[in-house]
Chains A and B, each alone.
Chain A
């Protein structure tokens, strides 16, 4: 549904009644960037599985730039401790990519568990992140991993995935023209462990990464996702030098206690959610302490 233009009510817009738009289907990133500079208002389309919902909510593009033909956006690489995943990679491709499976297998597994088989062929990393929907999971998964979004052609070049929901940021689209999201990069050099827990979706999901600090100690970063609230980043710095030294239960509780009261919603009160996130973090850490491989 969308609002009526004079504020007189609700209208059930459908994409098949969308006015035609000027369509561009660039085959290279360079062309695409030129197009977005020429048409800052252009809407970027990847798998379109969320875009149609946006059309139903009232988005009416005049210019549409489909990035589906840009092969550069489908690249995945792993160079000197940095995993780079192109924004056009579909969930199906990403979860089966040899580079990802070999560097952060749990990321591949998590990615391959979201949505449905049909959507996984169609939905892309970029679309999942830039749909800016709380319930989508790649922001939760990748922000625990400290993922960085790489942009091209707009006013910014790189932003952490977690900035998606920071105020005055991408979430409310006040950042101006972001151009095209080209890739997400993840530093894998200091990563000790990663895991994602979605069995309680949509009440709460938790992704959790453990990293070695540059000088000493470990950092545990957890991100809690839910249905009606933004993801929340929780973190804990431990003096431990080895994962096995972490106490899963108490670290889980320390992390969960950081959830602010706003994290409570229709699907779970804040008390329950804190408890649940504590349990889920604890379980992931228990796995981590027994299994120190990356992912």
Chain B
């Protein structure tokens, strides 16, 4: 652990607007914010779809003639209307616009209709005849991998995946019904021989829906040669690229507009409503078509990955971690979507926050006849952290260590590398652990019966892999500022934070900076709003653009005023010279550029260096860390868990907006809390039992512990501008493991499955009593 460079320290001054409300606050509290669902176009048509009633079936015939001839119907899309168009998917291009030869899950889209109003569209759907031949279906990942299981894709769809660096590899279709497999390996296999103990445990992870309040929605205006969409997507440019591929058009014939998003949490990547709306518009003579899903349809569109994770860890008698092997099966559902990427991350993030001499991870994304799974807040790290952290606690119990001590002993140091070739750890992990532990009084508590505490840490590589970002800043003659970049505002406060970075750089009030509407014709390129990359990656591009604008303003002013360039500075759109004399810029600009004035414009660009020694193409931008501590009280008779305290903490590196950072950690923590205790998509032999808002239980205010708080750390080592790091996902990672350990601490019940329902807790308590040899179970 010598020779590492301790990363940057933060600038001392707080960023302008740090303690103020976010810049989008007024429009959101007045109801004036505009989302995709609010977009209306003259002559707009409405789309509705028919979905498969079967989990797996061959489509023998479709007769949509009656639907087509219904008055008010302008277009019907079935497999006939998509001949020649391509399928989509992140790496594996397996999802057609509507089902072609077969349907692969209950809810798969079979046909779509556009009509003058929704009622007519529904009436038309009711006229479509479809003959199916049911096929055997498979829902369980292990069963799906059996050779005897039905092949969900008899012909392997086209797949393209990245070149990995040292130790990592990936491939599509490596086993029966496996869409993608990721492997990572480092260190010598022989390390196992030096271990005094080896433990192997299997964990299961549940599946949630994203439940963003704004559903998937698109308005499309499209002809055979030109496409324009207004759509609720986190990734405008990848969307444009995918649509270009699907429809076989050049990218400059496609324009993607993105209004505000009413939540995303990962769901709004990749086509959802877009391709259907576009195709219907093309067939309706270019009239605008709106396709807005209902919540019930959102449930049938995308979910998180449930998983089975087997982890084997070896350690020395004194508790030193040595070697870890993991085998992870992710349930990817019927179409690959982002499964390959999630598999990559779930496998890669398996070491957790700890030092190992040998790591060997395999993660497979399995195809089943259920709702496709894709990107979801935490992105593979939630699954990995559940298994990784849970096993640390199991081991601590077996060997008689205090779980916190065992963690502190093995946690990586600040600046230590995660794995060879990867970015060094950029937070003091132990500091955070102690911080949250002390916040709930972990270390000096008096033990009360049926009460327990747990502490956990989650870590994920943040900022996206190999991610370029661009931004443009424009300032009008009067000093009104536009920021032009493609970071999508979905609640995270990214627009406000980036505007503040511009304001900080230009020395102006953040209120003067306007985040320009996003459209792919005019907005500079970006790879997508994901991986908590907004500040740490896009922030650099934005800051550079603002710096460049400032430079050209100062250059111009120095020349015009005949002042020494080095002695002047920009403050609130005035030039201040060394003596403190101020010069208003507007008259100066008018004088210099003539009666129409001028706009100073500059572009910024940022991309982290790539390196073949980095396992995933490029070292990550930063490490996103989540620390949590929980206290529970368990009713041993019923297994009911009451969460008494929950403390979550993240490291912002440096805070750009206080409320924004806090909200990210708390929001993420509540996702984790729900996953820990109750929220899940319930499948009973393949049938989704709760795909509906009332039946699908999401957390409400009453589910939040009365003592719930977050601590935003500013450790200052971030690689983003001003020392910032990304936020938004880390807070979710450690919650379920911390609660699980608190339950174990309270009752002895060691749970390995999520959610930790009363029945599981109750059975766990009984098992613990047996394990501990009888009577003293919850003593």
Contacts and interface: CB of A to CB of B under 8 A. Distances in A.
B125 A17 contact: no
Given A8-B130, A12-B48, A272 B762 contact: yes
B682 A4 contact: no
B128 interface: yes
A214 interface: no
A240 interface: no
Contact of A272 (B110, B121, B700, B763): B763
Nearest to B118: A17
A140 to B, nearest CB: 17
A17 B122 contact: yes
B757 A9 contact: no
A48 to B, nearest CB: 14
A164 B110 CA distance: 38
A17 B117 contact: yes
B122 A203 contact: no
Interface in B700-757: 700, 757
B294 A14 contact: yes
Interface in A40-84: 53, 56
B360 to A, nearest CB: 36
Interface string B100-120: 000000110010000001110
A11 interface: yes
Contacts of A199: 640
Contacts of A34: none
Interface in A1-24: 1, 3-14, 16-19
B709 to A, nearest CB: 25
Interface residues of A, number: 36
B103 to A, nearest CB: 9
A268 interface: yes
Interface string A162-174: 0000000000000
Interface stretch (B49-57, B81-89, B569-577): B49-57
Given A4-B126, A17-B118, A275-B762, A10 B640 contact: no
Most B-side CB within 10 Å, residue of A12, A16, A272: A12
Nearest to B640: A200
Nearest to A8: B130
Nearest to B110: A9
Contact of B53 (A8, A56, A266): A8
A102 B237 CA distance: 65
A13 B52 contact: no
B417 to A, nearest CB: 45
A200 B106 contact: no
Contacts of B110: 8-9
A12 B129 contact: no
Given A8-B50, A17-B117, A268 B759 contact: yes
A244 interface: no
A279 interface: yes
A200 B640 CA distance: 7
A195 B637 CA distance: 19
A200 B682 CA distance: 18
A200 B117 contact: no
A261 to B, nearest CB: 16
Contacts of B132: 8
B496 to A, nearest CB: 30
Given A19-B119, A266-B689, A276-B638, A5 B126 contact: yes
Q: Please list the 10 inter-chain residue pairs (A to B) with the smallest Cβ-Cβ separation, ordered nearest first.
A: A17-B118, A8-B130, A5-B126, A12-B294, A10-B51, A272-B759, A17-B119, A9-B50, A12-B297, A9-B53
17 contacts: A4-B125, A6-B128, A8-B53, A8-B132, A9-B130, A11-B48, A11-B50, A11-B122, A12-B297, A17-B122, A116-B700, A266-B682, A268-B759, A275-B762, A276-B758, A279-B638, A280-B638
Interface of B: 48-53, 106-107, 110, 117-119, 121-122, 125-130, 132, 293-294, 296-297, 300, 637-638, 640, 682, 684, 689, 691-692, 694-695, 697, 700, 757-759, 762-763
Given A19-B119, A53-B692, A266-B684, 4 more contacts: A8-B128, A56-B294, A203-B759, A280-B638
